[in-house]
Chains A and B, each alone.
Chain A
């Protein structure tokens, strides 16, 4: 059978996301949820914090200042737990050691605007800072919603993030239906997707790429490695995350994040989905026009039954 009829045979395999929720997220480990009130004793919490390979879990007495270590559990006040999803690699050890506090949650809408948005539960001042980051981003991306050109730069990833980013062009995600295109030249790019722990060799090329992009520009850090260095961390040749090299607006945690996670990050960055996670900060109806634009015109979506 020639290729053209072959291309038609499978029908539409493209996801309806973000107009419709995609069921794929239900079976996918998205992030670790932390109970506001820990359901485990101090010993289990300390074990979980100690077992975390990237030091993403902080313990602190409630009422005390932001925890900086994990050894405050001898006092009498109840323990508070904070998890930095920008460090978490989803190994699941904490869930096994302190199941009353940590829960593995499905879902792929994990991107956060600003680094502080990845630390859960939110601490004092976090909400304000995240709101400020969101507002600053919203002002910049006002003109980008209908056509976004993306430049990707690998700054020392382990290679898996590239697979997930390039998967966005496969027919399941088909990112072009949303008006998002990959571009070769940074001078044509609105959005920089950066992956990797920030290798020394890529510091210069990454910075140059960022500087060559015209204003307004947005940076999305893809993966835990880009946010914090992840397991690779900091050393003679790694800078604990590409986010230390260029100013990042949106962080997509995960090691690596799924293609939907990357897509969510891009859409959140350009304001198409900007407020979905802001718990009613924006009227959902106000969001609809932005989504309708490029999506409704896409034949892939129109032919959907």
Chain B
């Protein structure tokens, strides 16, 4: 324990703490900008400076270790003036169009300007004109709004191991861009949107389709249906000032109907279907000498990652489409036939915690008859906007249930939204498929939690499988390198692109700290715990779908609608 004095008060710090960590724990707020929770500090922005007795100049608290007997002052005139000047300088070449900015009212730079008492433009720097990058179907980059904090570059490199973007040129000409400053669409960007979550300004945002969806909802003759992903209902509440981890599943369904969607389907239903297909595929590969280890294929960022960085592993990817695309395929075939609607008159919208799903929906191999199975993908944030634009307050509505034939879900389908969930759901059903009896305990604690890599050995009858769960592609890359170096004890590997899984997806509400992410995760596990139905293979609507339409898992029809293949992708990497 270290004793330090802050603003005349005594506090204690742990050995190895930075000043910022010690201050935060003691409840003393220091503004930060380039600081990223859980990652090494870069000390680039100098926003967190404090005065330390005896130090020749102000000290950035995020990157300076606390020491015994330190005397710190966090709000002397010198400190306040320095912080204010930093904001003023950042604003010197920042556009003034906050009213029209996607982050207006929700922007770290705006908040810092307000908190530090910046009331007018002090410096008038030359504005650099730079074109917006609108080439990606998932993300939009506006370099003019960029303040070069470097958070997106660090997340892309250190968390995801992708490094699609970096600092280009130098000095006042510096900007953040891809190799050869080409569009994101031809870069190695995997559309995960983790950069959007950390961007303090409007320089990075999802490509919004709210206008298109509103237009579709008001087009006569079109049947507009919607599906919502498991991780959306436990996070959208944050957009309406509720506590992180509040589940408003029913209220959200009610809200979607108020907005005007004809049918509301639950993507957790096709998550159950995914388990039936993927579980059967795993058993077939394990018993029939197929390519192992098998990787899950639900996370579209991961799929693109494999296509461009590890094309030799494409045979290891499960051929199952993601739950979103399975639902999309069923809506435009089974549902269209059942309701006697021309598939061309159905507009299929999905609500996802993910920006990469926008890219996935536009993949040509995942559509039919030259049209996409899923027409528009909205992120959780965009759904909140849709609710606000249409004057729907989900918190005030009575909960409703989703529509048949794709409305029933198991707890197993719901935990798809958290890292480890797909594996847990798959083990529950694979155990039944192999042994014919149910697992004694459905809760598999080893696979839960925020750890980047979790492993487990599963025994079911005569089959023993090594299972691993990784979240974030940096972790995935580590595991792949181990496997390429000869590791062979793993047969089934779940990969989620975002750290912690979809609950921390690139389309989720902004400014969620680690506690909020954990709250979302435990909310999903609570829903699973309380669910009357906890295994995918007992979902009666899934069973009916097989009886009436698909036949059996891995049948010809299933292959046609629910499976796909991927090919090597050439990008500048």
Do the two shown chains form a genuine complex with each other?
no
